[in-house]
Amino acid sequence: MKDSNCIDVYGYLKGETATEESIHLQNCPSCAENLEETKALLSQLDSLGEVTPSSEVWGHLQESVSPRSKMWVPLSVAATIFIALFVGLITVSSKSQQVAATRGDQSFLYVEEMFSPSDRTLLSLPGVGTLLVKAGSELRFTGPRKVVLIRGEVFAEIDPTGKGFEIVSGETRVVVQGTRFGVEAGKAVYVLEGKVDVAGPEGSVLLESGGVANMAPVSLSGGLSQIDLDWIQSSQLSVVLTREGNELVSRGEMTSWKVTLSSPASVILEGLQSVHRPDHFLFLQVHSEGKAPYLVPVDLVSIPTPDGGPLHIGPGRDASLVFQLDSRNFRMDGKHQVFAIYTGKGTGGGQATSNPMRIEVQR
């Protein structure tokens, strides 16, 4: 119970009390202790800096303080309650406003915010990489490096700094070790490059490049041929054609060519797998003066690719295809203008054409 002789400690600190209060403090252990507690609490309040609480914070404070309450509370207790409530509300508010990703239009996606795009959407994850979300999928971030995939499919390209990034679907966890991989909710995990750990209630597997795992239960499955990757394809593929050696060649001479493919978004060229799928082709289109253009096919399967699997193209990841061509593939002698044409399912409206290169064939 408060002693009627105790002084107003807060008034004392503001200099509003008389000299006798100083004498009282020297002889009253209770008031002296109250003074030190009040000094410490005021110091903590000063260290918080200037903060303008939101209307939500003020609403919580008004609900917590009843205007009809007449009970006297020591200043130190009241300050403690205020600090705890204020810091708690600020912590909850700051967590709900934590940025998890940036959309293509530069708007933010926050932690715990539900996200269900009607179109294929590329999310940029600060310090982690990118996440391509299939149309109609639904997910939410529970942290900057953790995604809960409720339905649909995502494709992640994770930088080395993003190691530990995690996707959860049902009871299955997919943890990244620096990779490019996809997750189809409740069904499968597939890796195009790198490694991921796939773990569920009944076991776990380490999935490497070209591998596929079932989710329920977690187990290794077949190869990438069973996965539909067309939705990942970019419509912005560009092709550059170059050639080594002189413009003038002899008939029957082998010529060296290089096609460089690039894209600002992720592209996966399935047609370059060892088992050829007939939905990706590369041609040289030849234009000769006074003659109709014709096509010279290039055997993509004979061009080596990393790990013998799909060729991956994206930001900072151009791909070069080098091949030899017998000059007898040109139907006649003379000067020719040559274009490289890449055609692939879901890529650039089905076709991307290069710059022209000149070559002259003579006997």
Query: How much is the pLDDT for 93?
Result: 46
> C-alpha angle with apex 264: 155 to 225, nearest 5 degrees?
40
Q: Which residue has the tokens 């200037």?
A: 50
Q: Please name each of the domains of the chain with its CATH number.
A: 9-96 (no CATH), 99-231 (2.60.120.1440), 238-362 (2.60.40.640)
Per-residue confidence (pLDDT) for residue 42, from 0 to 100: 65
Supply the Cα-derived Rg of the chain in whole angstroms: 34
Q: What is residue 113's predicted lDDT score, i.e. its pLDDT?
A: 93
Return the pLDDT at 283: 85
Residue type, 45: L
In the 8-state DSSP scheme, what is residue 317? B
* Residue 257: per-residue pLDDT: 94
Q: Tell which residue, 223, 214, 312, 300, has the closest CA to residue 263.
A: 312
- 115 Ramachandran zone, left/alpha/beta (phi>0; psi -120 to 50): beta
Backbone angles phi, psi at 288, to 5 degrees: -120, 145
Tokens (6 digits) for 175: 């943890």
Which of 187, 139, 137, 203 lies closest to 166, judged by CA?
139
pTM above 0.85, yes or no: no
| Under-50 pLDDT residues of the chain | 1-2, 4, 49, 68-73, 90-95, 271-278, 346-349
Say if residues 163 and 179 touch (Cβ distance below 8 Å).
no
Question: What pLDDT sits at residue 194?
Answer: 83
pLDDT at res. 70: 45
